[in-house]
């Protein structure tokens, strides 16, 4: 009566080749030009940050007071006599005082320094492991090249922007990771079990959401002891951002799970004897993935902005750690900014990062759910 169902004349089973989930997502993602652009921007920023040593011709943390606030080097191909050189070169900036006793930066056109590629320079380590002296570009001594100028202490702003990308991007990714982990797990559990736990959790979410974010961030950031080492501060800051941003995801996932909880496939799973854990993580969670990905790509830029803002105010990351926000602190005084406009250059990277992640999220939102026909 309960014998196994057997088939006669058994043939070889050859399951057809089938596209994996990521292939399906990729195929749909590829169609969105905006998303590809966003992805490339993010990728470029990540490469600049990870290999910042390679992209900065000068040590971005070494002080060099004599060249403080040097304007960005101009890249020339022709000299003042209109003579064309086949390769780019730079002049050095020198300060002159005009008849009204104003200081001016003027290019010293007597000597030109050709821009060389793949030059040897200061020593750094690839990925913190392999020592190297190779840099993408540079000029012969005693010439200097600062493509985005220098800051107050004479450090190359472009090199520092690349280096700062490490903290800014890593912190937003790390914070988002915590935020998504906490938010999605609590959201799924809250939506699945409902009842009292759900009620308490949702009131707690409302409690957190009703705080004015900025003062709370400031208060939390101010609590971090200044004596902590850099890594501890980094983790503490990421956690602060994460703990205030998980609520959005938790709410959304909860709503989705509540709608799914009563569907037949969950009932079918229970009917075949699946445990709650299996239902939550095998059946419900994967179905919220597209939501999670979208919220993820929205949380990253919000943390980048929040970090920049706090660091700008001086209560986030502290020197010698450098983030885009820390670099902006020098732009706080109107006077400094008025004379040295190039010190706001890190805004460019913040802008690109935020736009890049938003574009990426837009594309992923459409691509992450390949199982529906649109």
Give residues in contact with another protein (CB under 8 A).
1-7, 13-18, 263-265, 267-274, 278, 283, 286-287, 289, 371-373
Rounded alpha-carbon distances, angstroms, from residue 46 to 41, 169, 351, 365 = 9, 8, 14, 22
Q: How far is the CB of 286 from another protein (least distance, A)?
A: 4
Q: What are phi and psi of 112, to 5 degrees?
A: -115, 145
Q: How far is the CB of 200 from another protein (least distance, A)?
A: 15
Q: How far is the CB of 209 from another protein (least distance, A)?
A: 23
What is the enclosing helix (H) or strand (E) of 42?
A: helix 33-50
Q: How far is the CB of 287 from another protein (least distance, A)?
A: 6
The nearer residue to another protein, 17 or 319, going by C-beta atoms, is: 17
CB-based contacts of 9: which residues, under 8 Å, 6+ apart?
Answer: none
The nearer residue to another protein, 263 or 332, going by C-beta atoms, is: 263
- From start to end of the chain, where are the E strands? 76-78, 84-97, 103-114, 116-126, 130-138
The nearer residue to another protein, 9 or 338, going by C-beta atoms, is: 9
Q: How far is the CB of 248 from another protein (least distance, A)?
A: 23
At which residue do the structure tokens 């990540």 appear?
46
Three-state DSSP state, 127? coil
The nearer residue to another protein, 29 or 342, going by C-beta atoms, is: 29
Rounded alpha-carbon distances, angstroms, from residue 105 to 79, 89, 340 = 18, 18, 11
Beta pairing partners, 330: none
Q: How far is the CB of 228 from another protein (least distance, A)?
A: 43
The nearer residue to another protein, 6 or 227, going by C-beta atoms, is: 6
Q: Which of 337, 350, 162 is nearest to 329 (CA)?
A: 337
Structure tokens at 42: 């993010």
Q: How far is the CB of 347 from another protein (least distance, A)?
A: 41
Q: What are phi and psi of 134, to 5 degrees?
A: -80, 135
The nearer residue to another protein, 18 or 83, going by C-beta atoms, is: 18
CB-based contacts of 79: which residues, under 8 Å, 6+ apart?
Answer: 85, 109, 112
Q: How far is the CB of 20 from another protein (least distance, A)?
A: 9
The nearer residue to another protein, 2 or 335, going by C-beta atoms, is: 2
Structure tokens at 176: 């988002």
The nearer residue to another protein, 44 or 268, going by C-beta atoms, is: 268
Give yes or no for a contact between 97 and 103, defined as CB atoms under 8 angstroms apart. Answer: yes
């Amino acid at each position: 009566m309960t014998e196994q169902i057997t088939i006669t004349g058994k043939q070889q089973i050859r399951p057809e080749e089938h596209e994996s989930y990521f292939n399906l997502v990729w195929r749909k993602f590829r169609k969105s030009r905006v998303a590809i652009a966003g992805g490339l921007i993010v990728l470029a920023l990540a490469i600049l940050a990870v290999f910042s040593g390679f992209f900065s011709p000068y040590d971005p943390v070494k002080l060099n007071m004599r060249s403080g606030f040097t304007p960005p080097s101009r890249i020339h191909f022709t000299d003042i006599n209109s003579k064309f050189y086949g390769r780019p070169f730079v002049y050095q900036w020198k300060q002159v005082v005009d008849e009204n006793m104003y200081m001016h930066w003027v290019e010293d056109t007597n000597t030109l320094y050709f821009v060389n590629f793949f030059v040897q320079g200061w020593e750094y380590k690839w990925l913190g492991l392999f020592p190297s002296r190779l840099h993408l570009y540079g000029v012969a001594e005693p010439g200097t090249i600062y493509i985005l100028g220098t800051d107050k202490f004479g450090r190359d702003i472009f090199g520092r922007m690349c280096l700062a990308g490490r903290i800014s991007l890593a912190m937003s990714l790390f914070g988002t990771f915590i935020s998504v982990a906490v938010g999605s797990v609590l959201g799924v559990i809250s939506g699945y079990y409902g009842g009292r736990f759900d009620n308490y959790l949702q009131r707690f979410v409302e409690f957190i959401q009703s705080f004015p974010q900025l003062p709370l961030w400031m208060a939390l950031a101010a609590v971090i002891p200044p004596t902590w080492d850099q890594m501890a501060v980094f983790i503490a800051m990421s956690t602060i951002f994460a703990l205030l941003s998980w609520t959005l995801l938790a709410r959304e996932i909860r709503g989705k799970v509540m709608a799914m909880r009563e569907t037949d496939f969950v009932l079918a799973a229970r009917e075949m004897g699946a445990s709650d854990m299996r239902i939550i993580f095998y059946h419900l969670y994967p179905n919220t993935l597209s939501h999670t990905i979208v919220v993820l790509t929205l949380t990253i830029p919000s943390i980048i902005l929040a970090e920049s803002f706090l660091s700008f105010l001086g209560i986030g990351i502290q020197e010698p750690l450098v983030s885009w926000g820390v670099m902006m602190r020098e732009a706080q005084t109107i006077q400094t900014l008025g004379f040295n406009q190039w010190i706001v250059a890190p805004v460019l990277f913040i802008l690109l990062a935020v736009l890049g992640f938003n574009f990426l999220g837009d594309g992923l939102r459409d691509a992450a759910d390949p199982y529906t026909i649109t």
